[in-house]
């Protein structure tokens, strides 16, 4: 029987350090706070961002900000959760109907390109990634997200290779996904031409393993 289970989200696996809003008015206020924080991070980076600046730009009191975000780290966490949820939705949509090798080749290549372009275009994503390297809890959130995304890829591999060892497929998918994240982050740390070559090389290596391996 085809495996149709949906991977648990990273948010479900790692607890958020902030209070979740329950009322519509509170949700709208939190959205303003996150939009303000995102703009400030894009302008000056999360290290330089101050809670008072977030409150001022969001047009809320500092007490209201602290009610939902006890510190700056909680804001960064919330933004990271948002990006992981969006990425999982994109990946699930791209891979859910893949049933053959050519479909996997096309969908996987497009996903890598999308991920690369997002990192090039979004300073907030780059800043959050940098923050995960020094924050153990954020690293766990990122790792849980990576495992969830790899599960979408594992489901495709199980459809393409129904007789293969499922543990081996899971290992391959997880490793390929982790290597992809590392490759993209390396690519954005060098000049654009070299970065493009690195991403293209990663796709060739990964697809040989996924499709031909």
Task: Give me the percent of the chain exceeding a pLDDT of 90.
Answer: 54
Biggest CA–CA distance in the chain, Å, is 59
CA distance 1 to 171: 21
Report which of 154, 145, 163, 137 is spatially closest to residue 210, judged by C-alpha positions.
154
Low-confidence ranges of the chain (pLDDT < 50): 1-6, 8-15, 17
Evaluate whether 95 touches 155 at the Cβ level (below 8 Å): yes
Question: How many Å apart are CA 7 and CA 4, to the nearest integer?
Answer: 9
**Global pTM value:** 0.76
What is the distance of C-alpha 48 from the center of its chain? 23
CA distances (Å), 4 to each of 85, 144, 196, in order?
19, 19, 34
Specify the pLDDT at position 6: 47
Please report the pLDDT score of residue 18 as a whole number: 56
pLDDT at position 5: 45
Q: Is the dihedral of CA 77, 141, 17, 71 positive or negative?
A: negative
């Amino acid at each position: 029987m085809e495996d149709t289970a949906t991977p648990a989200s990273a948010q479900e696996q790692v607890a958020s350090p902030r209070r979740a809003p329950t009322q519509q008015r509170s949700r709208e206020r939190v959205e303003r706070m996150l939009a303000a924080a995102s703009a400030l991070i894009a302008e000056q980076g999360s290290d330089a961002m101050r809670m008072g600046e977030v409150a001022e730009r969001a047009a809320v009191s500092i007490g209201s900000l602290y009610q939902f975000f006890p510190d700056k780290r909680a804001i960064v966490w919330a933004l990271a959760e948002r990006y992981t949820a969006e990425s999982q939705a994109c990946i699930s949509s791209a891979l859910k109907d893949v049933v053959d090798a050519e479909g996997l080749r096309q969908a996987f290549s497009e996903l890598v390109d999308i991920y690369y372009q997002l990192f090039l275009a979004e300073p907030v994503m780059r800043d959050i990634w940098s923050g995960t390297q020094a924050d153990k809890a954020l690293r766990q959130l990122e790792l849980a997200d990576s495992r969830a995304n790899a599960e979408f890829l594992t489901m495709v591999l199980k459809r393409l290779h129904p007789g293969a060892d499922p543990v081996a497929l899971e290992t391959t998918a997880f490793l390929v996904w982790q290597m992809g994240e590392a490759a993209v982050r390396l690519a954005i740390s060098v000049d654009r031409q070299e970065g493009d070559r690195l991403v293209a090389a990663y796709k060739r290596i990964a697809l040989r393993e996924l499709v031909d391996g």
